[in-house]
Amino acid sequence: MDIETITPAEARRRQLTGALLLDVREIHERALGMAEGAIGIARAELEADPRSTLPDHDAEVLLICELGGRSAKAAQALIEAGYKRVASVEGGTRRWRDDALPLVQPADIDLDFHERYSRHLSLPEVGEAGQRRLQAARVAMVGAGGLGSPAAYYLAAAGVGTLVLADDDVVDRSNLQRQILHTEARIDLPKVESARIALSALNPRVNIEGFQERITSDNVERLIGDADVVLDGADNFAVRYLLNDACVKLGKPLVYGAVLRFEGQISVFDAGRHRGEAPCYRCLFPEPPSAQDAPNCSEAGVLGVLPGVIGMLQATEVIKLILGIGKPLAGRLLRFDALAMRFRETRFRADPDCVVCAPGRAFPGYIDYAAFCSGA
């Protein structure tokens, strides 16, 4: 059966004479403005139980969406459900707006929220509930440098409610080749303050808590204790082992990343929440490499765009963990070779004899991580 399509002007005329106008867009779309007098109900909800909204099968029903496609499909579903007087508004709300017909803003709508995150809200895997989870989340980031810069930008843009940044360094001109949070004008400013300025300008809804501190055994639990996810943007092995041990003890997922020269790697360590199933950093690297085998970036250099790739992937893993979607990189080490433009994945398992995360093993306590990593 052909679906009757009508212009917005005709829909308005019929509405004023008693027809019901239903806006079948999602709530975040309706938040940006809907036809005056329309009843908002998402298409899926309407089709699942039309009688709760339309008890009278003989009522005249007009359906409107954004452009006309969804309303036509909803009209077809209503006709198949026994409704006799159904029409779809051609051109939808966009044409209604273009024709200067009256629009209203739903009451008690956070317009900034719905505009800013509209592309997330359109994803069924995220939606409003997922976006609210991001808004309520707290992510602790150690390092506001090469990895922390892109990761923080994307997490702030995504709407993570609170970012805790810990970094004791100040902005140096040599940072600007890769640490995109910072600018020439903010040289000599503490990195956490420079980051706060940049991230607040991008998304003022995000709360930035900056700590100009070097993370140690004495302050690690204070800095990450309330976090939902911890992101490792450190540039040395001592901090990585410290973060790993603290996250195992506190039951926090740790998103790891590292870069050097033209190569980077990323993984998720979640042994604190999944003992014996998900490995920790020590399961993969029981002993730190020698200084000769793993020089730092200041000695060996790093391609400026490389931290952007790895930091972006870290942010992706953080968002997935908060939303509980997809498959995290737990038990998988993803390596990236920028020169070959190639990713390689290595799978690894939890070490049943791991000194930190073995099932049933009590936390052994923090150690002198600098001495451990120097071989002293």
Q: Flag whether 339 is in a domain.
A: yes
Residue 353 has pLDDT above 90, yes or no: yes
Same domain, 357 and 311: yes
Residue 327 has pLDDT above 90, yes or no: yes
Q: Flag whether 306 is in a domain.
A: yes
Say what the pLDDT of residue 108 is. Answer: 75
Q: Flag whether 101 is in a domain.
A: yes
Q: What share of the chain is helix, strand, coil (3-state, %, to 5)?
A: 40, 20, 40
Q: Flag whether 283 is in a domain.
A: yes
158-169 confidence digits (pLDDT tens): 999 999 999 999
Say what the pLDDT of residue 111 is. Answer: 86
Mean pLDDT of 342-355: 97
Say what the pLDDT of residue 150 is. Answer: 97
Same domain, 347 and 327: yes
Same domain, 38 and 169: no
Say what the pLDDT of residue 1 is. Answer: 66
Share of the chain above pLDDT 70, in %: 97
Same domain, 86 and 161: no
Say what the pLDDT of residue 31 is. Answer: 87
Same domain, 336 and 215: yes
Q: Flag whether 9 is in a domain.
A: yes
- Single out the residue of 90, 79, 84, 72 nearest to residue 24, CA to CA: 72
Identify the domain boundary among 109, 132, 163. Answer: 109
Q: Flag whether 114 is in a domain.
A: no
Say what the pLDDT of residue 110 is. Answer: 87
Same domain, 101 and 134: no
Confidence of residue 374 (pLDDT cuts 50, 70, 90): confident
Phi first, then psi: what are they for 184, rounded to 5°?
A: -55, -40
Which entry of 65, 247, 283, 297 is annotated as an active-site residue? 297
Residue 257 burial by Cβ neighbours in a 10 Å radius (0-12, 13-18, 19+): buried
Say what the pLDDT of residue 105 is. Answer: 85
Concerning whether 283 is annotated as a catalytic residue, the answer is no
Domain count, the chain: 2
Confidence of residue 296 (pLDDT cuts 50, 70, 90): low
- Single out the residue of 116, 155, 130 nearest to residue 313, CA to CA: 155
Residue 291 has pLDDT above 80, yes or no: no
Q: Which domain holds residue 228?
A: 120-374
Report DSSP letters for 284-308, one per residue: H-SSPPPTTTS--HHHH-B-TTHHH
67-79 confidence digits (pLDDT tens): 999 999 999 999 9
What is the sign, positive or negative, of the torsion defined by CA atoms of 165, 167, 170, 174?
negative
Same domain, 273 and 139: yes
Confidence of residue 342 (pLDDT cuts 50, 70, 90): very high
Residue 300 has pLDDT above 90, yes or no: no
The CATH number of the domain holding residue 28 is: 3.40.250.10
